[in-house]
Amino acid sequence: MMEKFNLKDMKHIKLSKLPDTERIIRKKGKRVRPIYSILSSLNDPINIIAEIKKSSPSAGTIGSGVSPAERASLYSRGGAAAVSVLTEKNFFNGSMNDMETAGSHLALPLLCKDFIYYEEQIEAAYLCGADMILLIAKALSNDEMRGLYNFARSRGITPLIEVHSSSELDRVLILNPEILMVNMRNLETLNIGYSTGINTLNNIPPGIKRVSASGIESQDEVKKIFHETGTDTFLVGTALMKGDNPRGFIRELKDVR
For residues 143-149, average pLDDT: 97
pLDDT over 90 (residue 59): no
Which of the pair, 65 or 48, is modelled with greater confidence?
48
Domain 38-254 grouped into CATH 3.20.20.70: yes
Give the C-alpha separation, 249 to 253, whole Å: 6
Domain locations in the chain? 38-254
- H-only helix segments in the chain: 10-16, 18-28, 38-41, 68-78, 96-103, 119-127, 142-154, 169-173, 194-203, 219-229, 238-242, 246-254
pLDDT of residue 1: 39
Quick: pLDDT tens for 13-29. 999 999 999 999 999 99
pLDDT of residue 64: 65
Give the C-alpha separation, 134 to 132, whole Å: 7
pLDDT of residue 99: 96
Quick: pLDDT tens for 82-96. 999 999 998 888 999
pLDDT over 70 (residue 34): yes
